[in-house]
């Protein structure tokens, strides 16, 4: 049950775009399209932003998008806004009937 | 609207036990699986355990196997986490989360309850 690999931090200016990668294995990210992404502001509960690799729940801005290639999933945020500054976590269902999270990525909007 | 409210956290000595509760409302509780996810102070999220809608499937992270037990009471719309043989590394905010049926994700989360393991 090794954690998925995410960059520890990313930063970009308002209005620009960023992409956060999430690398797993053929037993998790590569095996299923059950990759999801969560946004967490300090002191708050996580919020679902993307599910099934690329689907957005109702109410989530279309500036958020997801994709996957092989064992790596990605979250892209376009038109960065100050309110996007948060921690982002990917997660995947695994072939062992467990779930594994990435280590988290701190997004700083400069 | 969906609401999940955790309770039962607190300070416990190493080797001790604690039972967390998560009261659900705003959806048909008996139709959904439920998870517990934890977050140690300043650290990332860690999935702990899942119980299916019918209670027949219970899955655990290696860190929880043999020490933690998940259960549910549909008459009370509540999911529980019995934690035994607690270790300092179990100290965390524990969140319950609703499973989105068929998608293997956590679509709604509670605000969490803090567990501190210290002598």
DSSP labels, A18-49: EEEEEE--TTTTTT-S-EEEEEE-TTS--EEE
pLDDT score of A1: 67
Q: What is the mean pLDDT of residues A29-46?
A: 96
- Is A58 within 8 Å of chain B by CB? no
Judge whether B22 and B96 are in contact, CB under 8 Å: yes
Whether the CB of B40 is below 8 Å from some CB of chain A: the reply is no
What confidence tens digit (pLDDT) does each residue in A41-59 have? Answer: 999 999 999 999 999 999 9
Whether chain A has a CB inside 8 Å of the CB on B65: the answer is no
Between chains, do A34 and B61 touch, taking CB under 8 Å as contact?
A: no
Cβ separation of B109 and A100 shorter than 8 Å?
Answer: no
What integer pLDDT is reported at residue B21 of this predicted model? 98
Residue B34: is its pLDDT beyond 80? yes
Burial class (CB in 10 A: 0-12, 13-18, 19+), A58: exposed
B50 part of contact set with chain A, CB < 8 Å? yes
Nearest to A46 among B45, B61, B100 (CB): B45
Whether B107 sits inside 8 A of A52 (CB atoms) is no
Best mutation target among A31, A99, A100 (most B Cβ atoms within 10 Å) is A99
- Identify the closest residue of chain B to A96 by CA–CA distance: B59
Separation between Cα atoms, residue B117 and residue B90, nearest integer Å: 7
- Name, in order, each residue with C-beta under 8 angstroms of A54's C-beta and a sequence gap of 6 or more: A65, A66, A67, A68
Residues contacting B88, CB < 8 A, separation 6+: B14, B117, B118
Partner B contacted by A93 (CB < 8 A): yes
pLDDT tens digit string along B83-99?
999 999 999 999 999 99
Residue A2's pLDDT band, with cuts at 50, 70 and 90, is confident
d(CA B57, CA B71): 10
pLDDT digits (tens, 9 = 90+) for B41-94: 999 999 999 999 999 999 999 999 999 999 999 999 999 999 999 999 999 999
Classify each residue of A2-14 as buried b or exposed e, where b means 16 or more C-beta atoms within 10 Å of its C-beta.
ebbbbbeebebee
The tens digit of pLDDT for each residue in A62-99 reads: 999 999 999 999 999 999 999 999 999 999 999 999 99
Residues of A whose CB is below 8 A from B105: 34, 36, 48, 51-52, 91
Question: Residue B95: what pLDDT?
Answer: 98
Per-residue DSSP letter, A4: B
B109 and chain A in contact, CB less than 8 A: yes
| Residues of chain B above pLDDT 70, percent | 100
**Residue B31 clears pLDDT 80, i.e. is over it:** yes
Among A34, A101, A104, whose Cβ lies nearest the Cβ of B104? A34
């Amino acid at each position: 049950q090794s954690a998925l690999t995410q960059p520890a931090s990313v930063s970009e200016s308002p209005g620009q775009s960023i992409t956060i990668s999430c690398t797993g294995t053929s037993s998790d990210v590569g095996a299923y399209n059950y990759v999801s992404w969560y946004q967490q502001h300090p002191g708050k509960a996580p919020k679902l932003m993307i599910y099934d690799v690329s689907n957005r729940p109702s109410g989530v801005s279309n500036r958020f998008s997801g994709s996957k290639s092989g064992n790596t999933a990605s979250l892209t945020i376009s038109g960065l806004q100050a309110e996007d500054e948060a921690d982002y976590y990917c997660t995947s269902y695994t072939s062992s009937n467990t779930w594994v999270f990435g280590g988290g990525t701190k997004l700083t909007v400069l | 609207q969906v609401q999940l409210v955790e309770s039962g956290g607190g300070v416990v000595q190493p080797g001790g036990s604690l039972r967390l509760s998560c009261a659900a409302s705003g959806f048909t509780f008996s139709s959904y699986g439920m998870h517990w996810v934890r977050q140690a102070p300043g650290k990332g999220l860690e999935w702990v355990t899942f119980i299916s809608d019918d209670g027949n499937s219970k899955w655990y992270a290696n860190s929880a196997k043999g020490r933690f037990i998940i259960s549910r009471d549909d008459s009370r719309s509540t999911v529980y986490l019995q934690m035994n043989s607690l270790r300092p590394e179990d100290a965390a905010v524990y969140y319950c989360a609703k499973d989105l049926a068929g998608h293997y994700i956590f679509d709604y989360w509670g605000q969490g309850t803090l567990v501190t393991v210290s002598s």
